[in-house]
Structure 1
Amino acid sequence: MSKTVSDIIADTLVSAGARRVYGIVGDTINHFTDAVRRSDLDWVHVRHEEVGALAAGGESYMTGELSVCAGTTGPGSLHFVNGIFESHRNGAPVVLIASNIARAEEGLGFPQEVDQKKIYEQCSVFCEKISHPDQARRIVAKAAQAALTLHGVAVVIVNGDMFREISSDDLPWAVHRPAPVIRPSEAEIEALAAMIAGAERITIYAGIGARGAAAQIRALSERLAAPVAHTTRAKEFIEPDMPNNVGMTGILGNRAGMQAVGDCDLLLCLGSDFAYTQFYPGKARIVQVDIEPTRLGRRMPVDLGLVGDVGDTIDALLPRLAPREHGKHLNRALKGYAEDLKGYLESAEEPDPSLIHPQHLTEMLDRLAAQDAIFTADGGSPMVWLLRHLSANGERRFLTSLLHGTMANAYPQALGIQNAYPDRQVIAMCGDGGMTMLMGDLLTLVQEKLPVKLLIFNNASLGFVEMEQRVEGMLDAFTELHNPDFGAMARAIGMQGARVETADDLETAMHEWLAAPGPALLDVKVNRMELVMPPKIEPSQIASTALFGVKAVLNGRADEVVSLMRDNFLR
């Protein structure tokens, strides 16, 4: 039986495992949305397409399954761009149906005409146009297969008039999901074992590419008596049940993780593509294992680059390794990590009930949230507080914007995650800047009855940028935000909302917020004079911050200098 291109696209997406389409209806996709209405797909009507792309990416990142976005020609499809970049860089399998004007008008400067391929081929694993109705099922199946197997966004471009066309192709094009065992050759495994045998201070550095291999990493760590440091994105599966875990490196990391990486003589980078060269060891030999060959050696020169799945590679390697006793390298790292954790707890103590420090707020959230809660955090300081003060237990999940570094990702991603996990607690840690950037889709949470819990770290500023300016020795400029009472605003649109300004009122409000049956927002006024302290403070940073202090005093802002010193250096 012949079908329209619209029906074929919807059928193929359903067969590939998609359950939802995020978007805003409109002229060039009306026939497609009608096909969605008649299919097993649910349409999630967002108020801004960027939110739709972030929500789809959040859903797919957590489930590993396909989600879909669809946009009208020109502005409709273009509004997806930032969310598509974010989702693609997270490795989320999303398909974007990007429509265009009618074929008869292409190339003539018709209103809203956009060359979608030039735009989206830089943030996708697949980007093709359906040029003939008989291509529809084949191209959509290949797009879905690319998104699922190459872990990224796939884009299908469709002219508005093409959706109505009839296809006569009846071949059973389908999506394949291979599961190969990929590991280095025997000679390469032997070379790796020889390098390990010749090293004294070995550190394992695990990234998101080691997801699913936590048990093997633990076995390798115990065999080698090696500390395990990890990237930010590996937090949720490396922290739990990993006795030799010593935390993270990098500007968002902790001292023990940074020292374990910096002091080793052999660094085993397992599924890690950490971008910041200055945090790699200066003299150690480096081995990198990654499933993607093009990533080998692109961040730091490596002595041995191996293509393989991390778990399969370790399984092949372990029989060749002799067990080692705990030594100074591991013991020092473990002792340092215990001190780092103690420091985080001490920084979260609230000495002044008239203030709320963000660390205190996050530690309380960690204590009160469900054991299987899923957390998202906006880029900037909420992301730091999540990484440092929320505990991973093997059930909790975490998603932040670490590769794209966007604002306003937290609650849109939580929207999609809540759709996928309706019975789990989903909590978005929002900055006030991020919240106000895409605030309109709070209405989507109400309309879709999604019980997302939104926690606003309200410091009335673009706090992370303000910190960067001050550490550079500049007076902060253009970072102040004039915010509404977010709690009152939430109540006005139909969700539970509350505002807290003092530490004494926080716990009761947080209990009520988490217990709310539907979407709920808690607006918390947090201390503005809060620096995100790096694992190691350089003399240049102290000098630059002192320079800010001098400039602030000369400009009549001495009270801010006092607050900055009290809250960050004298606590």
Structure 2
Amino acid sequence: MSKTKTVANLWAERLASYGVKRFFGVPGGDCSLDIIQAAADHGIDFVLTRAEAAASIMAATTGELTGTPGVVMTSRGPGIANAMNGVAYAALDRAPLMVLADAYDGTNEHVSHQRFDQVAMLKPLTKAHDHLGGENAAKRLDELAETSLASPQGAVYLELRGSDIRAQTSEPIERTKPAPRPAAPHLPPKVQELLNRAERPVIIAGLQACETTAAAMLRKLMAGWDVPILVTYKAKGVVPDDDDHLIGYYIGGVAEEPWLKQADLIVFFGFDAIELPPHKWRYSAPMVEITAYPFDRNIISPDVVVVGPLDELGAALLKLKINSKWPVDFRATAKRSIAERARVGDGGPISPHMLVDAVIEAAPRNARITLDAGAHMIPVLHQWKATEPRQTLISRGDATMGFALPAAIASALAEPGRPVIGFTGDGGLMMCAGELGTAAQYRCNLVLIVFNDESLTLIGARQRRRQLPNAGVDFSPADFSKIAEGFGCLGLRVEQPEQLKPAMKRAFSAQGPVVVDVRVNPAAYHEQLVSLRG
């Protein structure tokens, strides 16, 4: 006979059975304390963050790294509203996330504030929603978790009411068995027809290829076919950056254009619609798309689309005959050209390139990096060498600032033995600087590199290209090393080139969170953006 427990404890049991180790948030309202205690009773830690947006990013990133649903808890009203950016990240960057928020209990006689339709607000960004009241709560929790984990992964919403979660239940702990993995379909004959005609095929790999078995099969396919490959920023590491098949990144820019225009067949492997830039497709070659899930698109129209498990479909592709006649020196020439385009521009005393080089020289080889949106991400992505999937964490679908620090905290907690480095601009850090306190409180071993140029440089570059006067993009000066110290982190300030090496040596030998605030000259960014994107 099943033991009686509260529904809150049932929730914690179910999440523990999925392997959830911690959840994130800011407590408030009616249900948070019950959830925190129930989680603790089942070995799930609660991580108190300084803001809900950062909490939801941490939770979604945890889901990406662990393969279990990340969990964020907020209060109703402003709490859940503040968390929306992380929910958007989960939806657009395909991360498994369970969102918990208080709602008003049906027993309330009068509601005077913080009341709006939270389900309606979240609906455009969530795959499903439910609450903990009523029959079959355990089964419905399983369905929510499995929905979050199903391809494409994303966010689900669980609404909490005090009378529901404190109710007694004797529902069993046994997990509902997930639906069996569907068998891969047969490749249609059209795929072989296109391969027979192609003499210069190329692969473009996207974020779906980050899944372990998919990445392993992609490497076999690339080597077996012996063809050039490009990866998206989100897929950085699915092919090691130093592999000679990899010629660079697909960013929808002019850097890869001369090389992709020589292709007479493009094979998309695990590509996603969120990785396409919002402009017209530049290429006329036929396209074959291999994808784990269908999605809407309005920029490309592949000649063949095959949906199924990427590892199985990749194995089927590997058996097909291919007649590649790429010139012997093509890959090396293309790779060198794209890399040179990424290194253009200069400006002292410290350029963005110089800073990235200094970090690379000092950093542990197995470090994971996290990146904010902004101009600084370009030198980092093109100079940093990744060797495995999810060694680089970046927001591309949501493309949000304020991502690097929360994602670095999530990584440090999920894999405490692995070094993690966050790269952020000053604008991005100002959006989540309070989370330095979270990093200090939970003794996260991380190094945060701040590209401090007192500006929203990427927006300023667009302003400059449109020949508009400089306005609305520059900040007053800030010393983030002092801010870091105020939160209990080690703060280091770098203003001259000779300070870089000692600062990096100290940062990577320290325990706990470190902030290295570096004054950079942003002059190189404009030339670099033009060189890569056009």
Take 2:286 and 2:390, find their aligned partners in 1: how far apart are those partners? 34
- The answer to whether the 8 Å contact 1:229/1:260 transfers is no
Aligned residue in 2 for 1:523: 517
- 1:546-567, Cα deviation, whole Å (9 max, x unpaired): xxxxxxxxxxxxxxxxxxxxxx
Partner amino acid, structure 2, of 1:165: A
Contact 1:141 1:173 (C-alpha < 8 Å) held by counterparts:
no
What displacement does 1:345 show? 5.4
- Alpha-carbon distance, 1:178 to partner: 5.4
The sequence identity of aligned pairs, in percent, is: 25
Q: CA deviation at 1:204?
A: 1.0
Aligned with 1:41 (options 44, 53, 56) = 44
After superposition, give the CA deviation of every residue in 1:8-63 in whole Å (9 maximum; x if it has no partner).
Answer: 11111111211111111223122222222322110101111111111111222122
d(CA) in 1 for partners of 2:293, 2:389: 28
Distance 1:299 1:390, change over 3 A: same
Is 2:207 the partner of 1:205?
Answer: no
Q: What residue in structure 1 maps to residue 289 of structure 2?
A: 288
Asked whether 1:460 is paired with 2:450, we answer no
Instruction: Give 1:138-537 correspondences, 5 Å limit.
Output: 138-150=139-151, 151-168=153-170, 170-172=171-173, 174-177=175-178, 180=181, 182-186=183-187, 188=188, 190-211=189-210, 212=212, 213-240=214-241, 242-250=243-251, 255=255, 257-273=256-272, 274-276=275-277, 278=279, 280-295=281-296, 298-322=298-322, 324=324, 326-328=325-327, 331-342=329-340, 344=342, 352=348, 355-394=349-388, 397-532=391-526, 533-534=528-529, 536=531
What's the CA shift for 1:455?
0.8
Offset at residue 393 of structure 1 (A): 2.5
Counterpart Cα distance in 2 of 1:406 and 1:363? 25
- Structure 1 stretch 441-450 or stretch 380-389: which is displaced more? 380-389
> In 2, are the aligned partners of 1:381 and 1:463 still within 8 Å (CA)?
yes
Secondary structure of 2:185's aligned partner: coil
What is the rounded CA distance, in whole Å, between the counterparts of 2:219 and 2:313 in structure 1? 14
Instruction: Choose between structure 1 and 2 for higher RCO, CA contacts under 8 A separated by at least 6 residues.
Output: 2
Q: List alignment gaps of at least 5 residues for structure 1.
A: 542-571
Per-residue Cα deviation, 1:134-165 (whole angstroms, up to 9, x for no partner): 34322222111112223211211122332222
Show CA shifts across 1:174-195 (max 9, x none).
Answer: 2545563643325x1x321121
Partner of 1:102 in structure 2?
Answer: 105
State the distance in 1 between where 2:16 and 2:242 align: 37
User: Does the aligned pair in 1 maintain the 2:290–2:310 contact within 8 Å?
Assistant: yes
Quick check: 2:13–2:173 contact (8 Å CA) kept in 1? no
- Larger deviation: 494-503 or 81-90? 81-90
The alpha-carbon distance between structure 1 residues 175 and 364, as it changes in their structure 2 partners (threshold 3 A), is: farther
Distance 1:473 1:523, change over 3 A: same
Structure 1 residue ranges (4+ consecutive) displaced by more than 6 angstroms after TM superposition: none
Q: Structure 2: how far apart are the matches of 1:303 and 1:80? A: 40
C-alpha distance in 2, partners of 1:218/1:517? 36
Separation in structure 2 between the aligned mates of residue 485 and residue 90 of structure 1, nearest angstrom: 32
Provide closer, same or farther for how the CA distance between residues 535 and 310 of structure 1 changes in structure 2, counting only shifts above 3 A: farther
Unaligned runs of 5+ in 2: none
Residue identity matched to 1:332 = F
More helix by share: 1
Q: SS in structure 1 opposite 2:434? A: helix
Aligned to 2:459, the other structure's residue is in SS state helix
TM-score, normalised on structure 1? Answer: 0.86
Q: Work out the CA distance in 1 between the residues paired with 2:94 and 2:177.
A: 18
CA–CA distance in 2 between the matches of 1:502 and 1:402? Answer: 32
1:119 has 2:118 as partner: no
Segment drifting more, 393-402 vs 286-295: 393-402
Distance 1:279 1:250 in 2: 13
The letter for the 2-side match of 1:57 is: A
Q: How far apart in 1 are the matches of 2:389 and 2:101?
A: 36
**Separation in 2, partners of 1:254, 1:362:** 23
- CA-based RMSD of the aligned residues comes to 2.4
